[in-house]
Amino acid sequence: MLKLPGLIDPHVHLREPGATHKEDYDSGTSAALAGGFTIVLAMPNTNPPIFDSTTLDLALNAAKQKARCDFGQYVGAGPNNADSIAALAGKAAGLKMYLDSTFGELRLDDMTLWQAHFQNYPQNYPLVAHSESRTMAAAILFSAIYNRPIHIAHVSLKEEILLIKAAKEKGIQVTCEVCPHHLFLSKDDIPAISHGHAGRGEVRPRLATKADVQALWENMDVIDCFATDHAPHTIEEKDSDNPPPGFPGLETALPLLLTAVDDRRLTMDDIISKMYTNPKKIFNLPEQAETWVEVDEKTEYEIKAENQLTRCGWTPFEGWKVKGKVRKVVLRGQTAFEDGKVLVQAGYGRNVRENQNGLLAKVNCRSGF
């Protein structure tokens, strides 16, 4: 039996408020526990989006009543909220800036709109950018100009990971995350995922080429975090004429990554640093006392959507054989998950920002290096 710290997923979509038929704070945090995560940070591209005090309270109240693991809630950068959103920094997981094609309404195309957020959002609080390719290069330039840390979400391309490497070497305060689906799938896998429904292969950033995937593996030391970008949409929505982009990932990330450890493509240190130590530091997350995950390293099983706790009812990894099963999760002294069952009540989860009094220590953005 392998014992791991409670894992942290800094990038999930829990769909609350507005699309709780896909997921909510209850089903999403249950799926998190089943995947070995004890902290999830939820994205703000909900309906309505989380972009002011009223909508933040809406999400936080739902989370307080429903969450079964600990959580933080991001706020979103909009065209007109640079002053008001900065005032909420102490209550939020961080500020999310959507600078590229995504799902939902929060998108900032005009670079003059970025400036106010880079200037105003308090420097010691996490700022996360969805920015791909050349947009990512521009976001890193903003970080250098305004001398503030930036975390790049879901890096998927060779040109991105190489530029982040170069930026780190120059001392720019950039960190990044990579999703399991960009490590284990390329665009060549889309037909197999699709089962005749092209919408199932849709995700942003898109699945990339084999050369891109290989570059991520070759630059494992540049990757600060593994993040799922758990983006549940129902199977009916994925198979419709207008399929929304996104893959669920909370319950498949750890088994896939443990299988890569078994295959000697990763080390256990990679798992602990990228799913615990680094995200804890980058996002300034509290210590969870008496918290750990027990994994049966030897158990081999097949990934099946029907065994998942996410509400979305499908996975792009259906039928994959993995080695390493989450047996038990203990969260703050209580057995929260054991043998496929969530054992803590809705509302057991705590807001990671609750007792931080709005004061964060200086974020060390060069973690792991």
- Nearest-5° angle of CA 312, CA 133, CA 73? 45
Q: How many residues does the chain have?
A: 369
Residues 25 and 67: beta-carbon distance below 8 Å = yes
How many C-beta atoms surround the C-beta of residue 307 within 10 A? Answer: 12
Shortest distance, CB of residue 102 to ligand DOR, whole angstroms? Answer: 4
Q: Show the tokens assigned to 302.
A: 């097949």
The residue with its CB nearest to Zn ion is 229
Shortest distance, CB of residue 229 to Zn ion, whole angstroms? Answer: 4
Residues 144 and 113: beta-carbon distance below 8 Å = no
The residue with its CB nearest to ligand DOR is 246
List, in sequence order, the alpha helices (H) in 146-293: 158-169, 180-184, 190-194, 210-218, 235-238, 253-262, 268-272, 278-282
- Residue closer to ligand DOR by CB (options 44, 349) is 44
Asked if the peptide bond before residue 48 counts as cis, ω within 30 degrees of 0, the response is yes
Residue 149 interacts with which of Zn ion, ligand DOR, none, CB < 5 to 8 Å by class? none
- Cα–Cα distances (Å) from 63 to 15, 69, 91, 352, 363, in that order, read 11, 10, 13, 11, 25
Shortest distance, CB of residue 276 to Zn ion, whole angstroms? Answer: 20
- Residue closer to ligand DOR by CB (options 20, 291) is 20
Shortest distance, CB of residue 349 to Zn ion, whole angstroms? Answer: 20
- Residue closer to Zn ion by CB (options 13, 148) is 13
- Residue closer to ligand DOR by CB (options 106, 295) is 106
Q: Is 60 helix (H, G, I), strand (E, B) or coil?
A: helix
- Residue closer to ligand DOR by CB (options 106, 266) is 106
Residues 85 and 122: beta-carbon distance below 8 Å = no
Shortest distance, CB of residue 154 to ligand DOR, whole angstroms? Answer: 8
Asked if the peptide bond before residue 205 counts as cis, ω within 30 degrees of 0, the response is yes
Residue 246 interacts with which of ligand DOR, Zn ion, none, CB < 5 to 8 Å by class? ligand DOR
Question: What residue ranges in the chain does DSSP mark as E strands?
Answer: 2-5, 7-12, 37-42, 70-73, 75-76, 95-98, 127-130, 150-152, 174-178, 225-226, 292-302, 321-331, 334-338, 341-342
Looking at residue 341, its amino acid is K
Question: Binding residue for Zn ion (CB under 5 A) from 177, 229, 237, 294?
Answer: 229
Shortest distance, CB of residue 35 to Zn ion, whole angstroms? Answer: 16
- Residue closer to Zn ion by CB (options 160, 229) is 229
Residue 151 interacts with which of Zn ion, ligand DOR, none, CB < 5 to 8 Å by class? none
Contacting range for Zn ion; rule: CB under 5 A; set: 157-165, 221-229, 255-263, 287-295: 221-229
The 253-292 contact track toward Zn ion, x by CB under 5 A, reads: ----------------------------------------
Shortest distance, CB of residue 12 to Zn ion, whole angstroms? Answer: 8
Helix 133-145, helix 158-169: angle, nearest 10 = 20
Contacting range for Zn ion; rule: CB under 5 A; set: 112-120, 227-235, 293-301, 312-320: 227-235
Q: Provide CB contacts within 8 A for 169, sequence distance 6+.
A: none
By the criterion CB under 6 A, which residues form the site for ligand DOR? 13, 45, 102-103, 130, 203-204, 231, 244-246
Q: Show the tokens assigned to 45.
A: 């591209």
Shortest distance, CB of residue 206 to ligand DOR, whole angstroms? Answer: 9
Contacting range for Zn ion; rule: CB under 5 A; set: 106-114, 144-152, 226-234, 276-284: 226-234
Site of interaction with Zn ion (CB under 5 A): 229
